[in-house]
Homo-oligomer: A and B are copies of this chain.
Amino acid sequence: MDSELRTVLVVGTGLIGTSVALALRQKDVRVLLADRDQGAVRLARELGAGEEWQPERGEPVDLAVIAVPPAHVADELLELQRRGTAAAYTDVASVKAEPIERAAELGCDLSAYVASHPLAGREKSGPGAARADLFLGRPWALCPTPQAAPAAKAAVLRLVELCGANPVEVDAGDHDRAVAVVSHAPHVAASAVAARLADATEVALGLAGQGVRDVTRIAGGDPGLWLGILSGNASPVAEVLEAVAHDLAEAATALRALAEGDGTAGDDLVHLLKRGVAGHGRIPGKHGGPAPAYVVVQVVIGDRPGQLARLFQVCDEVGVNVEDVRLEHAPGLPLGIAELSVQPDAASVLTAALHERGWQVP
């Protein structure tokens, strides 16, 4: 079966659509661009994402990628199919059950359609934020219905491959429940923690450390965009949030009891903290495997040009691969700590080499 993609139509040239187009252009696929907003098409074209689609030309298209908000996917699919636009169709919306159901209701041809969702994004939006490598190494969920033809599945798999992503075939309902747990509900929880900081005192903010920075980082995302995502996956997200709210209310009750001197109330709290440790430990590490036991080597660095270059130069000299790096903020002082995650057997080599060269390795 020839699943080669010669020409792909991208409908919706926002962040995701334009990034797909840019990735395909790097692989010399011909890309046609469409968007209700002519300015967005023009910008995407100027970025090298492809050329403007001229539907009246009736040019043959191997795959149409529908990159519009979840609520509009099915209508767009129907319109494109009525025109006989492409041999196969997919969409890239972040929820999957609702668009598929609606497409079935509208009488779309489900044999030519495989819904999908690349797990990639940025805090910025629009074609200007697009990147050809946005999907490199990221999971890309595929949710084919039983009606989907092998040729349609092959075309969408080829798209995922050309974008450098990892295809994950999953039932649409399972997908939606999964992203509720690992993406949508954590976003709302981060917002609720960050909301407390909105009316916190300056004193409280002055005592903020790395922990609360990490917990609330994603709370900076665009509220309008997130309303669309959450609305499209409302019931699964609500279910997770109800469970989180329940746990937090119980933790508060336990703390109130502890404040009243009831020592046994600590058990409930420890149980929650232990479940948190267990859940945290299940998140896969880099490269998709289980979280590896890296050792963190901490190095004191000055906050001026050249320090990090010299530090990584040492790592290079002794052949140590740095798996991850984190710079610890040092409020008020021009000093920081670089935390280098390395393989356990590399830690002593690196520590010794850094000591020898006069670095402060506590």
Contact = CB atoms under 8 A, between A and B. Distances in A.
Contacts of A248: 188-189, 192, 241-242, 244-245, 248
A242 B201 CA distance: 19
Per assembly, the copies of the chain total: 2
B189 A204 contact: no
A64 interface: no
B195 A247 contact: yes
A336 B168 CA distance: 20
B174 A203 contact: yes
Interface string A308-333: 11111101100111111111011111
Contacts of A212: 182-183, 186, 283
A174 B205 CA distance: 12
Interface string A329-350: 1111111110000000000000
Interface string A262-293: 00001001101111111111111111100000
Contact of A308 (B179, B183, B322): B322
Nearest to A283: B208
A360 B277 CA distance: 37
Interface string A241-257: 11111111101110110
A214 interface: yes
A317 to B, nearest CB: 8
A146 interface: no
A102 interface: no
- Interface SS majority for chain A: helix
A150 to B, nearest CB: 23
Given A200-B182, A277-B219, A287-B330, A133 B315 contact: no
Interface string A206-223: 111101111111111101
Given A189-B193, A191-B276, A313-B313, A287 B333 contact: yes
Interface stretch (A52-60, A105-113, A296-304): A296-304
A226 interface: yes
Contact of A215 (B189, B227, B362): B189
Contact of A241 (B252, B270, B275): B252
A126 interface: no
A316 B306 contact: yes
A160 to B, nearest CB: 12
Contact of A137 (B166, B192, B217, B330): B330
Nearest to A300: B133
A5 interface: no
Given A191-B275, A220-B276, A304-B321, 10 more contacts: A181-B204, A186-B215, A188-B248, A188-B273, A193-B276, A195-B279, A214-B218, A231-B258, A238-B256, A287-B334
14 contacts: A119-B207, A137-B333, A137-B336, A174-B201, A179-B207, A190-B215, A191-B276, A237-B252, A239-B252, A244-B248, A249-B249, A287-B334, A305-B315, A305-B321
